[in-house]
Amino acid sequence: MALTDQDKYHALMASLPLDALDRLALLHRETRQTTHLARFLASSVHAAFLFMLMTVLAFLLARTESIGRDFSWAVLILAGVLAILQCHVRAHAALFSEAPTSAAKELRVVFLYMGLAWGAGAFLVLPADSGILAVLLFTALPGLTLAFLLADTTSFTLFLVPSGLMVIGAALIRSFPYAMLEMSLILILQWGLFTGAVMRKREPDPTFFPKG
């Protein structure tokens, strides 16, 4: 009786030694890590340039009169953009090395910083009499951009949480006219963005796979 393809596969796997199977699983995991990091690197560079554009747009919408605060926030964002680009250059060397996970972690720390830097703009750039639409645009624009662009759900979350919390903090501390309503809408918006990003990227993150 002729063997089916499935029978042949099981026969082949049974004939392989255990160390060869372990090595095959390790190579598969490393390939997934390298592929994930390559996609992450490409999307992070695009995000860096979009941050610059969104910062300029925020200045135009806010129309603040404090040059010192504008400059301070611009420096914070520029520092984050340069850090992303620097990580991108260094991480390229890690694509085919033994430390792709380390490169991904460095980029995630940078996106955590970007979340804090962007949230600081709510204290430095947004006027105290900002309307609901201005506050929501300030919060939603980078979140929506990264949700569709950034190929790493962890980095997206590390940006989303501190940026949203800082905008909420600014609305409460600086007594924005609709602070409580803005807080509720921001929380709903962030939950929706997070859920959408997770559903869109259901593939497990290979950098968290346990090593054999």
Rg (CA), the chain: 22
What's residue 204's pLDDT? 42
Q: Residue type at 188?
A: I
Give the separation between CA 164 and CA 14, rounded to whole angstroms.
Answer: 53
**The predicted structure's pLDDT at residue 158:** 93
Tokens of 123: 């204290």
Query: The pTM is what?
Result: 0.76
Residue 77: the pLDDT is 96
DSSP-based three-state secondary structure for 191: helix
- Cα atoms found within 13 Å of the Cα of residue 112, Cβ hemisphere only: 8
What pLDDT was estimated at residue 115?
95
Residue spans of the domains in the chain: they are 19-203
pLDDT of residue 201: 60
Whose CA is closest to 170, among 161, 183, 159, 181?
A: 183
Give the pLDDT of the chain (212 residues) as one tens digit per residue. 444 555 555 555 555 555 544 554 455 455 555 566 667 777 888 889 999 999 998 888 777 667 888 899 999 999 999 999 888 777 766 555 555 567 778 888 999 999 999 999 999 998 888 889 989 999 999 998 888 888 788 889 999 999 999 999 999 999 898 889 999 999 999 999 888 877 766 444 444 334 43
- Give one word for 175, left, alpha or beta, with left for phi > 0 and alpha for psi -120 to 50: left
